[in-house]
Amino acid sequence: MDTVILLLCTGLGLGALYFLVASGLSLIFGLMDVLNFAHGALLSVGAYAAWWATAQAGMDFYAAVAFGTAVGTLAAVLLELALIRPLYSRPRDQILATVGVGLAVPALLMGVWGADARPFPQPSGLSGTVRVLGAVVPVNRFVLMAAALLVLLALRLFLARTRYGLIVRAGVEDRAMVTALGIDVRRAFTLVFAIGGAAAALGGALAGLYFGSVAPGQGTGLLIFAFVVVVMGGMGSVTGAAVASAGVGLVQQFANYYTAAGLGDLSVVVLLAVLLLVRPGGLTGRLA
């Protein structure tokens, strides 16, 4: 029983990490039709910025996470303004450009800080374990779950209660019609990129907590599963991404434990294939 509890918590913690990456990715694709292969790089930027802030600059953990998130947000805005926006009418070039950034950023990180993983300082309050129904569970799993829940809540409030949220929900359905109502949808694009970058960078900072270290390729590795989550959840659906993230994290953990290490990744792909056969529009089949 305690093994099941541990796997549940670890799976949901990993799912929370996937959600932090996938939520922005889903909104960006839903609104802008941009397959952002550089999204993993934003996670890496957030992770390394947080690591640098706490390990090199001596900030405390919470300030370092805030710093990492801010740097990732800034990087996302710059990416949208400098690279994505000029290529809106050239989607193939846009994909190539984001793939290029997705490869260049880890290479840059590797060039500056080396290829080896760097230990991420664990704050004393979050490095211990707690006992849940007999299972000993690392506290950082709950930190990730709490962060993902807060981001989910904030995104839902943003989408439901703000004018820009309304623009995003409408833009996911029909971007051209939004502009035909006199709305400059490019501002919403930049905002969505900023939000997506912030969530991914937060995920990067907290990934350091989850994995105990940061590594140049961490973002790219997580991006693959984030794409699976986006497809499973339904393009542009934040709630769908949340449900799919939890499902993917749990399936991966349980399959890895009860079958063989590595089969967890395969079972996620099988799950995706089955879901798409049964529900081609993803879990929600609806937008945002």
Partner 1 sequence: MGAPHDPLLTVRGLRVVIDGLHILHGVDLDVAPSGVTALLGRNGAGKTTTVKAVLGLVPRTGGIRLAGEDLTRLPTHLVVRRGIGYVPEDRGVFGGLTVAENLRLAERDAEPAYPLVHEIFPELKRRERQVAGTLSGGQQQMVAIARTLLNANRLIIADEPTKGLAPRIVTEVADALERVASRVPVLLVEQNLALVRRTAATCAVLADGHTVHQGATAELLADEEAARRLLGVGSSRRPSPGPSPGAAPAPPTGTEVNR
- What tokens were used for 263? 């089969």
Under the criterion CB under 8 A, does residue 183 sit at the interface with partner 1? yes
Angstrom distances, CA of residue 232 to CA of 32, 241, 269, 280: 19, 7, 10, 9
Looking at residue 134, the DSSP 8-state letter turns out to be T
Least spacing, CB of residue 69 vs partner 1, in Å: 29
C-alpha to C-alpha distance for 48 and 36, rounded to whole angstroms: 20
Binding map of partner 1 across residues 101-140, x = CB under 8 A, - = no contact: ----------------------------------------
C-beta of 92 vs 262, nearer to partner 1 = 92
Residue recorded with tokens 């900072």: 205
Cβ proximity to partner 1: between 118 and 175 the closer is 175
C-alpha closest to that of 68 among 204, 193, 192, 161: 204
Q: Give the separation between CA 129 and CA 28, rounded to whole angstroms.
A: 36
Quick one: which of 250, 35, 214, 29 has its CA closest to 242? 250
Shortest Cβ 179–partner 1 spacing (Å) = 4
Q: How far is the CB of 279 from partner 1 (least distance, A)?
A: 17
CB of 74 to partner 1, least distance (A): 26
Q: Are 7 and 141 in contact (CB under 8 A)?
A: no
- Sequence length of the chain is 288
Is residue 286 a contact point for partner 1 (CB under 8 A)? yes
CB of 2 to partner 1, least distance (A): 43
- If one asks whether residue 191 binds partner 1 (CB under 8 A), the answer comes out as no
Q: Which of residues 163-182 bind partner 1 (CB under 8 A)?
A: 163, 166-167, 169-170, 172-174, 176-182
Smaller CB separation from partner 1, 25 or 287: 287
Positions touching partner 1 (CB under 8 A) are: 163, 166-167, 169-170, 172-174, 176-185, 286-288
